[in-house]
A and B are shown apart, each in its own frame.
Chain A
Amino acid sequence: MYLLHLAIKSLANRRFSAILTVLAIALSVTLLLAVEKVRTEARASFTSTIAGTDLVVGARSGSVQLLLYSVFRIGNATNNIRWDSYQKVANHPRVEWAIPISLGDSHRGFRVMGTNALYFEHYRYGRDQTLELALGALPGDLYDAVLGADVARELGYDLDTEMVLAHGTGAVSFVDHGDKPFRVRGILNKTGTPVDRTIHISLEGMEALHVDWQQGMPARGAAAISAEQARQMDLTPKAITAVLLGLTSPIATFSVQREINQYTGEPLQAILPGVALQELWSLLGVAEKALFIVSLFVVLTGLVGMLTAILSSLNERRREMAILRSVGARPQHVFSLLLLEAASLALAGILLGLGLMYLGLWLARPLILSHYGLFIAITPPGVYEWQLLGAILGASILMGSVPAWRAYRQSLADGLSIRT
């Protein structure tokens, strides 16, 4: 115990280099843990975003792309699905429910999604959880909107707040739908999925926004149709972006998928969300591994820095060792002292790194969620993280034994004579 006291006092005496060493280890540990955290949390978050949906249908493109824009609100659809195709799919005997999704508008950076009551009834996330209203009601009127929890919180919107939607999905839009404002009708409970960052309106509402548009531009002057006029029109959408399907039996999944993929009316594609997620992981897997290996090397660099700092201090500390020897310290005490020094540095670095990681996570969480739709839970380190940290500590002790051995040899050779 007294040796630990000595080791820490001695380090405190050289605090400048000790702090730098601890910082280097801490940063490398932060990086390693962050990479691990993002990796596992991304998987968990992605996997928990969609549950209970058997197939996702969209215009033919890549399955990963379809999954990303339909479920995660990342990227955009290349093409739409005609309304009659949707109806054919929805009326398929094996299809229990078909949630239409229409995307393309936004409000202050949050995506707007047109859908219908089926969505609130059948959409599942996490472990088969349903969407629940925290406040208000589901859309009743044409110009009603239901906000995800984060939208309401970040924009400070409450029930009955009026909002003007913008065309396109950029954070800044030059064309808005100022003629047809929406009213907040309901606010959903937090889900930890991209739903929290979505503004839900009815398909008809989405259609009404664009009913007078021509060639992607709003109509001007006499051609414009007011909000009230739009109510009188047939607002059945002409096209939607994607469909989430629930089937009567999971056994039917592959046959329905094949039928949709071979649909002759227009090029459609049906994907299994789980399979598409796997595809996404295999794409990301290489990058993940590379990142992990790079961060391991960064940790190694941090530890080598520690090794250098201790080794280079040894020569100027021969006097210290000789004094310790003269008051009765044995060479093995000198060895332990140096080892404890390395372990203390590494432990301080690991703990600081953990702290920095959580601080960084806490700070970056809103950004990650808004930019990538990823919800990262702040949870205590799991078994795997502790194992990693234990391995780092073990490696540091192993590396610390190099200067410890040198000091041991040195103190055997120097004995009580003070050499500097």
Chain B
Amino acid sequence: MPSPLIQLDDVHFAWPGQPQLLDIASFTLDRGERVFLKGPSGSGKTTLLGLLGGVLLPGNGSIRVLETDLPSLSASARDRFRADHTGYIFQMFNLLPYLSVVENVTLPCRFSPLRRGRALAHNDSLEQCATGLLAGLGLSDPALLRRSVNELSIGQQQRVAAARALIGSPELVIADEPTSALDADSREAFLRLLFAECERGGSSLLFVSHDSSLEPLFDRALSLGELNRAAPTAEVL
């Protein structure tokens, strides 16, 4: 059995001068797995993603991604590791307004030679790779791709952001409430497209949301409140 993509053991985290925010005994995410992580705002969701991205360091415990112990790496090595192996999709306004749609999508390849190499392995150019991904996500209209990203609808913007997270086939895609600005119908459509593209690229998906109606679509669903032994009970809604 292959080792899990993410393996958290006994991870503690507290912001300086504040009570313990996270205390996670164990959390794993297998390769190719699609996991729904439910967490209301204030539950330490963003902090957990910061830890997984190597932007934050735990007080103690081990965070292994792809069998690499993140806290033992230097700050710039963690940055490089994140650039190579993780794609992000945020809640909204994911795109740089001054770049074209295609330039936005190819952005990770500018910072990660690894993902650039992977993107170019099956494509002649990054642009071709980007348009392929966008087409897979239902954005194939050439006129649309030439438009300023500000003129796209929120749903279209999120699909561009998804293409950006997926380019160069990172092992892990982290989506932080990417559907909260979409209506119910678009949510499911977006998720199905995202799943298909994750599968094609072999990426695992960690999907964080407070909207449990999407739960059934995933391989596995977890609640951060249950996972986190230090959950601030007073804030549970």
Residues of A within 8 A of B (CB): 2, 6, 9-10, 12-13, 319-320, 323-333, 415-418
Contact = CB atoms under 8 A, between A and B. Distances in A.
Nearest to A2: B110
Given A2-B110, A330-B111, 17 more contacts: A9-B99, A12-B98, A323-B95, A325-B55, A326-B53, A327-B107, A327-B164, A328-B110, A328-B111, A328-B115, A330-B80, A332-B76, A333-B111, A415-B50, A416-B50, A416-B88, A418-B91
Contacts of A13: 97-98
Nearest to A417: B46
B94 interface: yes
B77 to A, nearest CB: 10
A12 B93 CA distance: 19
Nearest to B94: A323
B96 A320 contact: yes
A415 B46 CA distance: 10
Contacts of B76: 330, 332
B108 to A, nearest CB: 4
20 contacts: A6-B99, A9-B98, A10-B98, A12-B98, A323-B94, A324-B96, A327-B88, A327-B107, A327-B108, A327-B110, A328-B80, A328-B82, A328-B110, A328-B112, A330-B111, A415-B55, A415-B56, A416-B50, A416-B53, A418-B90
Given A13-B98, A416-B88, A327 B83 contact: yes
Contact of B53 (A6, A323, A331, A415): A415
Nearest to B103: A9
Nearest to B49: A416
Interface string B45-78: 0100110010110000000000000000001100
B90 A326 contact: yes
Nearest to A12: B98
B211 interface: no
Nearest to B82: A328
Contact of A327 (B50, B75, B111): B111
Nearest to B93: A319
Nearest to A14: B98
B10 interface: no
Contacts of B50: 415-417
Contacts of B90: 323, 326, 418
Nearest to B52: A416
A2 B83 CA distance: 16
Nearest to A10: B98
B168 to A, nearest CB: 10
Contacts of A319: 93
